[in-house]
Amino acid sequence: MLSRHQDPIAAIATAPGRGAVGIVRVSSPQDLSALVTAVCGRPLKPREATYLPFRSAQGEAIDHGLALLFPAPHSYTGEHVLELQAHGGPVVLQLLLARCLEADPALRIRLAEPGEFTRRAFLNGKLDLAQAEAVADLIDASTEAAARSAGRALAGALSGEVGQLRDALIQLRMLVEATLDFPEEEIDFLQQADALGKLRRLLERLDALLDRSRQGAILREGIKVVLAGQPNVGKSSLLNALAGAELAIVTPIPGTTRDKLSQTIQIEGVPLHISDTAGLRDTDDEVERIGVARSWDAIREADVVLFLHDLTRMGQADYEREDAEIRSRLSGVEPARILQVYNKADASAPSEAGAAAPTSVDAPRDNSTGATAATGAPTTTDVLRLSAKTGAGLDVLRQRLLQQVGWHAVPEGLFIARERHVQALRRTREHVDLALQQAAQEPAALDLMAEELRLAHDALGEITGAFTADDLLGEIFSRFCIGK
């Protein structure tokens, strides 16, 4: 009996809904000649598009379109693949899919699971795991920069660099193992093989790749930004200003925003998922109270929290007391994730607002405490003054948001990366660093050094799938769309 990964599979490969063209895809380790004849009415030449009617079991035309046959191993999955390109109506494609499922009973074709075509491409050596993930990232890309970076990863940019590091690790492992196998040879391994130099250079290359992978992960995942603060400090106005559209209702009535409102924008190609939240305050309104609770949930999950303050209300006792309470609750959030933003600079007094186009400056200071008057927090350069109404200071805010998560331009073209890639590279680096420490001892602990290099090799192999557990593969490919 064939294993599940050897079952013939079929699926609609295009997005749900109506369209000019829709594709039904079949993949099978077994020959598809009988299926082709049943559906297309005649054999097909390999890799040649043929226009013909797609036949039902009664011989009637379901639709007319293009049929392409890709014999193994020269196909996306490495198996025999049939693609039927028909008109993109949902009913037509469902009829065509049903016909493929029953046309050849001997094959016992089943519906494909999410990502199963790409999983087979990985299992059959057509793609490594990093490239397979790049397929999904290319489909899901929300910015032009993310799409280009995913294309580089699909072309093997990340895999190529990982492969070079792997080769360097293998060479080091061979040298260490050889020395352990022939201890009678009085060879100063560390000096003659320049093991210390090789390890240091390997660490430098890992650091460079780790930095680029972090940037690629930011490009893929984007930045989760939450606008927080009291009612009427300008959160909704700031969301509208950043998005360039009237997404949120803006009124002088406190409590207008009662639920989280999100919008994705991009800065330098980096997706920013910005959420406007309900004003943080105690309220007797049940709906608003639920909205405030959701606001705190969003704050805990955010990469960056923009804590908004109203320059026009500074010095008002009630306002400052509420701000102090919010600040107290924000004490559980890492300070590096909080950016203090002073809004309504256009409406505040000149002595408070500063220049007509506010930039990054310190907030008004309480000279008696060395703390900002509005928040009680120490005066820091992580403070911005702006006007969501006029747009003054928004460019500075956009750049600060990128800086807050460590984004910076790199000279080479970026490739898309995932958090698991970053974590695998970090573990690789940790083991290589430990191997360097063992090598630097007098005498060198070569057996411990060999073990650290082996662990580094395994961690690095997780990126491309050389050492990957089946449960991780299931998690990765389950996130793909059906038909891909």
pLDDT band, very low/low/confident/very high, at 261 (cuts 50, 70, 90): confident
Q: Of 233, 248, 194, nearest to 313 (Cα)?
A: 233
278 is in an annotated binding site: yes
pLDDT band, very low/low/confident/very high, at 366 (cuts 50, 70, 90): very low
257 is in an annotated binding site: yes
What number does CATH give the domain 222-404? 3.40.50.300
What angle is formed at CA 303 by the lines to CA 257 and CA 387, rounded to 5 degrees?
50
252 is in an annotated binding site: yes
179 is in an annotated binding site: no
Contact predicate 107/30, CB 8 Å: yes
* Mean pLDDT lowest among 3-12, 126-135, 366-375: 366-375
126 is in an annotated binding site: yes
pLDDT at 185: 52
CATH of 4-128, one of 3.30.465.10, 3.90.550.50, 3.30.1360.120, 3.90.1150.10: 3.30.1360.120
255 is in an annotated binding site: yes
* Per-residue tokens: 412: 């080479």
pLDDT at 240: 86
Does the pLDDT value for residue 410 go beyond 60? yes
Contact predicate 11/119, CB 8 Å: no
pLDDT at 363: 42
User: pLDDT tens digits for 50-96?
Assistant: 999 999 999 999 999 999 999 999 999 999 999 999 999 999 999 99
> Region 436-441: what's the mean pLDDT?
88
Q: Tokens 């080091």 belong to which residue?
A: 172
User: pLDDT tens digits for 368-395?
Assistant: 333 333 333 333 346 899 998 899 999 9
279 is in an annotated binding site: yes
235 is in an annotated binding site: yes
What number does CATH give the domain 136-218+416-477? 1.20.120.430
Domain spans in the chain, listed from the N-terminal domain onward: 4-128, 136-218+416-477, 222-404
| Residue 184 CB coordination number (10 Å) | 5
Strands 223-228 and 261-267: unpaired
E strand or H helix that includes residue 270: strand 270-276
> Region 221-233: what's the mean pLDDT?
88
90 is in an annotated binding site: no
b/e map of 333-372 (b: 16 or more CB within 10 Å)? eeeebbbbbbbbbbebeeebbbeeebeebebbeeeeeeeb
> Region 233-253: what's the mean pLDDT?
70
DSSP string, 461-481: HHHHTTT--HHHHHHHHTTSP
389 is in an annotated binding site: no
pLDDT at 278: 65
> Region 446-457: what's the mean pLDDT?
92
Q: How many CA atoms lie within 13 A of 293 on its CB side?
A: 6
Spatial distance between the Cα atoms of 117 and 125, rounded to a whole number of angstroms: 13
